[in-house]
Chain A
């Protein structure tokens, strides 16, 4: 009975686990050419070992699993099988679990940055004429921030002189696309603009913001209006 368990564990289950681990790593990595080569080579060695072991079992009536004189070899087989299983689990963790968590974190970060920048671009107070521009520029890539300051910085003096106040509040926002090197988000916001002596003008504005990953996190590259006319 003990020999049957040893045979099942060390002569069958252990090599089967190694082969399954090799195949599992291939599935996780989506079978790149280098892994096809490595897995084929290692898999062939395992199959060869199993066949030799079965031959010896038939010839001598003893196998790696049932040989009382070779406990070290059994331990080595158990070690290789456990190592293969742990390697497969680690590869699955880094390529699947970590990647999925990163995707979800990026999704939240992209929409959060896009929302903040969109609101900042449509916010203006005569008391702090550049506050909105600086808040938006801080979350842009350097080139886009400079262009943004140049484009909108000039009009701030005029807006401040006319005592115009502008505010924006996000109504709805979501992720449009996300890849490791770029993302786009859609932000729909309610804007209002007030000037002394005039009634407030309100509008709903849709924007598409393009973002890029950087060392500081996701940063806005471009902002484009989605409406051809006011809705």
Chain B
């Protein structure tokens, strides 16, 4: 808001002789200018608050989507049976990216062999998923799962699942999964870039 009364003789309240030229800015003009600056500053601060809040909300929404993708992927993993193993592995592979995708057979192929061999009926459920914020691994930091610049952002997710398998002999066997999944956003799609059992 621009200041007013900058040359306004009526607004001049300095009490000077009317014949004399008044000051360039009257008190009202200066006060209005100060208020205009204050208003502009308030608008800028409000805009910044909105921008930061939008970014924070977007980050929380992204993390919520990440948790959902990780839970769905892990749910398929812990519910693999002899009947659905091929379809499950295809679904799992479609949800991966990077080395995990290219080395998929090496990483998850052994699961297929075990599932088909024992012919167990497995039912599993996801008991907890959380965005990892504390990580204290022994040894050197792992190599990045994806080449630089491929993923727009990456989150690590802790997944805890429990499954019960009943083999041909009918003996139920419980198994717990403690996993760390890395979820990467690649071309707007959330994909699993690393699967790591927590040991």
Chain A residues engaging chain B, CB cutoff 8 angstroms? 2, 5-6, 9-10, 13-14, 17, 24, 65, 68-69, 71-72, 74-75, 78-79, 81-82, 85-86, 88-89, 92-93, 96-97, 100, 103-104, 107-108, 111-112, 115, 169-176, 185-186, 188, 190, 204, 206, 208, 226-231
Contacts and interface: CB of A to CB of B under 8 A. Distances in A.
Nearest to B37: A82
A209 to B, nearest CB: 11
Given A71-B28, A92-B49, 18 more contacts: A2-B7, A5-B4, A10-B4, A14-B1, A17-B1, A71-B4, A71-B8, A74-B5, A75-B28, A79-B35, A92-B46, A111-B133, A112-B134, A170-B134, A171-B136, A171-B198, A227-B160, A231-B175
A206 B49 contact: no
A88 B42 contact: yes
B56 interface: yes
B2 A9 contact: yes
Contacts, number: 171
Interface residues of B, number: 53
Contact of A68 (B11, B46, B132, B178): B11
A185 B128 CA distance: 9
Given A175-B130, A206-B128, A13 B1 contact: yes
Interface string B57-82: 00000000000000000000000000
Interface of B: 1-2, 4-11, 26, 28-29, 31-32, 35-36, 38-39, 42-43, 45-46, 49-50, 52-53, 56, 127-137, 156-158, 160, 162, 174-178, 180, 197-199
